[in-house]
């Protein structure tokens, strides 16, 4: 199987609001919209939307046993692991095991996330 595909569409259009889902434990703060997913490899492309005032401190920092890429589409997001405000245009290619977060956003933020679970690494958590 391969990653799902779709024709052109605008996931940010108001009529697409029903596609967004709250992240468990972050209802009212953070939503996701899966754009493409491979059921076999777990590879995932999604948008993550942090609403103004969102704060994931209750979940602490995170690390994955796979590589991922992120791109800040709009807004800004504070990554406590790096002590850095990520602004529109920031990009990161994270290796397996890299700690990131917790996150908070004062004005809201839209992030494009691409995860590669099939590209795991040793020594990751």
Tell me the pLDDT of the chain averaged across its residues.
92
Q: Over 60: is that where the pLDDT of 64 sits? A: yes
CA dihedral sign, ordered 7, 51, 86, 45:
negative
pLDDT tens-digit series, residues 7-32: 899 999 999 999 999 999 999 999 99
Q: Spell out the domains of the chain, with CATH numbers in brackets.
A: 20-120 (2.60.120.10)
Please state, in angstroms and rounded to a whole number, the distance separating the CA atoms of residues 98 and 81. Answer: 10
Contacts of 8 (CB under 8 A, 6+ apart): none
Structure tokens given for 68: 């991922």
Measured distance CA(72)–CA(65) in Å, rounded: 22
Q: Do 75 and 109 touch, CB atoms closer than 8 A?
A: yes
């Amino acid at each position: 199987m391969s990653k799902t595909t779709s024709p052109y569409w605008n996931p940010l259009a108001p009529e697409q609001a029903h596609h967004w889902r709250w992240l468990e434990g972050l209802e009212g703060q953070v939503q996701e919209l899966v754009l493409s997913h491979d059921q076999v490899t777990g590879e995932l492309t999604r948008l993550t939307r942090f609403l103004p005032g969102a704060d994931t401190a209750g979940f602490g920092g995170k690390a994955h046993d796979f590589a991922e890429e992120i791109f800040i589409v709009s807004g800004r997001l504070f990554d406590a692991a790096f002590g850095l405000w990520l602004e529109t245009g920031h990009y990161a290619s994270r290796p397996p095991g890299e700690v990131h977060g917790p996150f908070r956003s004062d004005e809201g933020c839209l992030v494009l996330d691409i995860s590669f679970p099939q590209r795991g690494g040793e020594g990751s958590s």
